[in-house]
Amino acid sequence: MLTLKLAARNILSAGLRTWLNVAALSFAFVSIIFLQGLYEGLNDQVERSTVDALFGGGQYWQNAYGPFDPLSLEDAHAPIPPPLRKLVSDTSATSILIRPATFYPHGRFRSILLKGIDPGQTILSVPSHLLRTGHDELPGLIGARMAKGAGLKKGDVVTVRWRDTHGTYDARDVSIVEVFRTSVQDIDNEQVWIPLDRLQELTHLPDQATIVVVNRSAVPLNEVPGWEFKDLGFLLRDLHSLVRMKSVQGSIMYLFLLFLAMLAIFDTQILSIWRRRKEIGTLMALGMTRGGVIELFTMEGAFHSVLAAILGSCYGIPLFAYAASLGFELPAGTDNFGVTIGQRLFPVYSPALIIGTTLLVCVVTTIVSFLPTRTIAKLKPVDALRGKLV
């Protein structure tokens, strides 16, 4: 308690020297949390958007379906079994039929996935309600990336060709009813969404689907023969590893900032011990043990981080709140980063991030403050009084 009191008194009485260190350290605190918040935000946003647009609360896959195996798609369909049908009729799930097809925009051809979705579904954020046109023509919905790549716009009519269940080629003109913007590339690139019942009819696959997406409150069924439930842990696996990989790059900056902050503290301690060696001798002459002096100097270093945390919170918390509420507009081109990022990135500053980072920096600061004080352990009081260091 005495050391704590003395350390507080020492650093508060040191005036500008203390505050310069505290300001530098607080900047490191805020920068580290700020950057980590951006990565948390990225992680959060990617996950949320993907779940909303693609995964819902999990998916039942027809056994033959493999999203990364285009050859499997021909056979990846089956009648929706009664338990899943019940979920669909309860609006707790929506079924999607996926068929490989060829698209002919402006005379060129593109291999695409033709996806049939219920226009009345509310489980995914795909704007499927736009497919409810009331006309006979086959309505199609495409994403902005697909539209850009194919040179299409709303109102264009494009021929789509597919093979029905008997292997016979068939084709229709699709009228593009809307080009939607989405940050989730997996519902956009090389895909055309059409009404589920029309796709089932055109491919002679009545009441069949490839996947059934359940909502987030649905309880997974025990076992559905021919179908396998994939939970969000499984579905988001690749996304998490991608985000983790990107976070490693962020960690380099994190470590760099932490290193700079620690260097500042280390230098301060070295300088402080060198400049105050006579004072160290005086403290020993007055009856302070070497351990006491080491404790005092270490505590002083640690106090810098406590003050830095207080100062940092004074300007950091409003800054974080502002950044989290308004987000940052992302420059054009970030759509192609490979992860799902919206037009604005909203950082996430969770209490765990703020408290965790603050504690980590305080602990590391204390350790770094302690390292130079080991010199004192070898110091004789007489040498210290003469201004000598070991």
Partner 1 sequence: MQNSALIKTENLEKTYSLGLTSLKAPDDVTLTVTRGEFLGLVGPSGSGKTTLLNIIGSLDAPTSGTAEVLGRRIDSLSQKEAAGLRNGHIGFIFQTFNLLPVYTVYENVEFPLLLQGVESSRRRQLVEEALEWVGLADRADSRPVQLSGGQGQRVAIARAIVKKPEIVLADEPTANLDAANSHHIMRTMVQLNEELGTTFVFATHDEKVIGYLKRKITLIDGRISKDERSDQPPLAVR
Q: Pick from 81, 100, 127, 292: which binds partner 1 (CB under 8 A)?
A: 292
Select 317 or 385, whichever has its Cβ closest to partner 1: 385
Token pair of 274, please? Answer: 């060198």
Q: Annotate each residue in 96-135 with x if it binds partner 1 (CB under 8 A) or - if it does not, as one string.
A: ----------------------------------------
Q: How far is the CB of 308 from partner 1 (least distance, A)?
A: 19
Select 324 or 385, whichever has its Cβ closest to partner 1: 385
Tell me which H or E stretch contains 100: strand 93-104
Q: Pick from 285, 314, 321, 389: which binds partner 1 (CB under 8 A)?
A: 285
CB neighbour list of residue 348: distance below 8 Å, 6 or more residues apart? 37, 40, 41, 43, 44, 324
Q: How far is the CB of 341 from partner 1 (least distance, A)?
A: 51
Q: How far is the CB of 346 from partner 1 (least distance, A)?
A: 45
Q: Pick from 46, 73, 158, 288: which binds partner 1 (CB under 8 A)?
A: 288
Stretch that binds partner 1, among 9-17, 76-84, 169-177, 241-249 (CB under 8 A): 9-17
Q: Pick from 5, 132, 237, 378: which binds partner 1 (CB under 8 A)?
A: 5
Please state the φ and ψ torsions of residue 95, each to the nearest 5 degrees. Answer: -100, 150
DSSP state of 51: I
Q: Pick from 41, 119, 139, 281: which binds partner 1 (CB under 8 A)?
A: 281
Q: How far is the CB of 5 from partner 1 (least distance, A)?
A: 8
Residue 6 binds to partner 1 (criterion: CB under 8 A): yes
Nearest to 52 by CA among 219, 236, 246: 236
Select 181 or 380, whichever has its Cβ closest to partner 1: 380
Q: Which segments of 181-332 are extended strands (E)?
A: 191-195, 208-209, 211-214, 227-230, 328-329
231/56 Cα distance (integer angstroms): 10
Q: How far is the CB of 287 from partner 1 (least distance, A)?
A: 2
Residue 319 binds to partner 1 (criterion: CB under 8 A): no
Please state the φ and ψ torsions of residue 79, each to the nearest 5 degrees. Answer: -60, 140
Q: Which segments of 204-300 are extended strands (E)?
A: 208-209, 211-214, 227-230
Residue 21 binds to partner 1 (criterion: CB under 8 A): no
- By CB atoms closer than 10 A (0-12, 13-18, 19+), residue 42 is buried
Total binding residues for partner 1 by CB under 8 A?
A: 25
Q: How far is the CB of 299 from partner 1 (least distance, A)?
A: 14
Residue identified by tokens 């008194």 is 9
352/240 Cα distance (integer angstroms): 19
Q: Pick from 14, 232, 367, 371: which binds partner 1 (CB under 8 A)?
A: 14
Select 151 or 291, whichever has its Cβ closest to partner 1: 291
183/202 Cα distance (integer angstroms): 30
Select 62 or 272, whichever has its Cβ closest to partner 1: 272
Select 190 or 383, whichever has its Cβ closest to partner 1: 383
The number of angstroms, rounded, from the C-alpha of 205 to the middle of its chain's C-alpha atoms is: 38
Residue 380 binds to partner 1 (criterion: CB under 8 A): yes
Q: Pick from 44, 190, 197, 279: which binds partner 1 (CB under 8 A)?
A: 279
Q: How far is the CB of 292 from partner 1 (least distance, A)?
A: 8
Tell me which H or E stretch contains 345: strand 344-345
Q: Which segments of 196-290 are extended strands (E)?
A: 208-209, 211-214, 227-230
Q: Pick from 290, 299, 306, 335: which binds partner 1 (CB under 8 A)?
A: 290
> CB 61: neighbour CB atoms within 10 A?
19
Which spans of this chain sit near partner 1 (rule: CB under 8 A)? 2, 5-6, 9-10, 13-14, 278-279, 281-292, 380-382, 385
